[in-house]
Amino acid sequence: MRFIEWLDDRLQIKSMLKDLFDHPVPKRKLSFLDFLGFATAFSFFNQAFTGLLLATVYKPSAKEAYASIQGIQNNPLEHFIRSLHFWGANFMVVLIFLHILRVFFVSAYKKPRELTWLVGGVLLIGTLGLAFTGYLLPWDQQAYWATTVGTAIAGYMPVIGHYLVSLARDGSNVTGLTLTRFYAVHMLLLPALILAAFGVHFFLVLRQGMSFTEEVAKAKREGGQVRGGTEPFWPNTVWKMMLFVSLVGVALWVLALRFPAGLGHAADPLNKSQYIPEPVWYFFSIYQLLKYFPGKLDVIGTVGLPLVFIVVLFGLPFFDRNLSRKVKKRPFALGTAGIVVVAIIALTYIGYQSVPKAVASTGVKAHPSFSGDILPVLQSSCASCHGSSGGLTVTSYDGIMHTGDDKPVVIPGHPTSSLLVQKLLGTVQPQMPLGQNPLSKDQIQNIENWIKDGAKNN
């Protein structure tokens, strides 16, 4: 390699590369989980690459954004690049969280790697910022209303809340000005921040080596050998890393090909179709959590918990004075983290279940079954209010038959005198679902037929 020689003559890169890459790694401890950070970096470069291509065809204005995405959707190659960008965003969020969990589990944030952890915190916030700002750019209904709700949350911050919201939106509502602002943040500010932080993060990792390599140094000091032997970081470990990242890349491509990114109806700030926003899946846990803090306690969920998260994230290497890296000696740290992870998964699942989903029309059935035809409709259209509050509970057979302020709402055999039907038809006001489009004629007819049949739990 004459070029390397030429470069080395001028920059002495050989000694630098040797410092960074030439160290032994304990074979026994190596796990593909140690490559999650590298995989996160890969997904960022996927975003940068596909984002750059998309930027050449996307038009960042409220008048043209949606049409330009439609154009992208209609061109197979452009659509595929957008799908890669869409799935890459999901990958990046998932991988960075898994990476953080892994680093936490193996105590790699402890001395001397506190700075690496802190810079990683900046990378996490930058990643979530990219996900949030990128969500608005297609300018469809979901983008518009999820951003309206998402930015509204900042308004709960005491004193400065209103300023934060109008600073984010460039005005009191989400408008074309917001789109331009988010575009600049998504395209310039956050990528620059992430690149800078990533540079520092990556340098620190190479400089200090991964935390488990310390075992080798310790063994060397004591004149012994690491149990299970070692392998050189370059080339052995690096090639394993490349294999793992390639597999992640293949998964990304397969998902992008198999499940292309979609596009909803154009953003309608007047919401004539009465669209009800729902958050992107990684915010489902917060979305569900907010439901447990009714009324004035909202501020706990909207401001308090995110603040606690940030304090814990950036304070962790300093709060956690326990120097041990053994799992058994860290019951509190690992126990707490375990509970938080389980809670997030559970909340995401419950939140996902509670989102009103479009129920496929089954047409009118003469003898509909409760579990097959009635309960799904009630759950999708009524349970967001009549789930745990709102008097009547519609999430189970017993609930429908035996709860409510005006119970019974179902009189078996008599659909027209059942309050449930009267409310759905609007013959008793207010018509349900409150403030939304009525159920379809088919759906109401099925409920009537089911009551006529004796309102059985079938």
Partner 1 sequence: MKRGAIEKPNTEKFPQMNRRTFFKAGIATLGTLIGVGYLGSALAFLWPASARAAKLENVGALDDFAPETATLVTYHASSGTPEGVYIVNTAGKLLALDFHCTHLECAINWSPDLKQFLCPCHGSVFNIEGVNLAGPAPRPLYRRVLQVKGERVLIGGRII
Binding interface with partner 1 (CB under 8 A): 62-63, 145, 148-149, 152-153, 162, 166-167, 169-177, 181, 269-271, 274, 276-277, 291, 294-296, 298, 384-385, 390, 429-431, 433-436
* Furthest CA-CA distance within the chain: 94
Cα gap 18→241, rounded to integer Å: 18
**Length of the chain, please?**
458
Q: Counting beta carbons within 10 angstroms of the beta carbon of residue 365, is it exposed (0 to 12), middle (13 to 18) or buried (19 or more)?
A: middle
Closest CB to partner 1 among residues 171, 412: 171
CB of 263 to partner 1, least distance (A): 19
CB of 72 to partner 1, least distance (A): 22
CB of 170 to partner 1, least distance (A): 5
CB of 451 to partner 1, least distance (A): 24
Closest CB to partner 1 among residues 81, 347: 347
Closest CB to partner 1 among residues 56, 437: 437
What does the DSSP assignment read for 88-153? Answer: HHHHHHHHHHHHHHHHHHTTTTSTT-HHHHHHHHHHHHHHHHHHHHHHHTT-BHHHHHHHHHHHHH
Closest CB to partner 1 among residues 255, 385: 385
Closest CB to partner 1 among residues 123, 174: 174
Place of tokens 């190659």: 77
CB of 391 to partner 1, least distance (A): 12
Cα gap 253→247, rounded to integer Å: 10
Query: Quick check: 278 and 353 in contact, CB under 8 A?
Result: no
Cα gap 254→257, rounded to integer Å: 5
The secondary element (H helix, E strand) that includes residue 199 is: helix 190-208
CB of 163 to partner 1, least distance (A): 9
CB of 62 to partner 1, least distance (A): 5
CB of 42 to partner 1, least distance (A): 33
CB of 159 to partner 1, least distance (A): 13
Closest CB to partner 1 among residues 233, 284: 284
Phi and psi based region of residue 276 (left: phi greater than 0; alpha: psi -120 to 50; beta: remaining): beta
Closest CB to partner 1 among residues 58, 145: 145
Closest CB to partner 1 among residues 96, 174: 174
Closest CB to partner 1 among residues 23, 169: 169
Cα gap 251→257, rounded to integer Å: 10
Cα gap 341→338, rounded to integer Å: 5
The secondary element (H helix, E strand) that includes residue 25 is: strand 24-26
Residues sharing a CB contact under 8 Å with residue 197, sequence separation 6 or more, in sequence order: 119, 122, 123, 126
User: What radius of gyration do the chain's Cα atoms show?
Assistant: 27
Closest CB to partner 1 among residues 181, 330: 181
CB of 192 to partner 1, least distance (A): 14
Closest CB to partner 1 among residues 317, 433: 433
CB of 417 to partner 1, least distance (A): 21
Q: What are phi and psi of 232, to 5 degrees?
A: -70, 140
The secondary element (H helix, E strand) that includes residue 24 is: strand 24-26
Residues sharing a CB contact under 8 Å with residue 342, sequence separation 6 or more, in sequence order: none
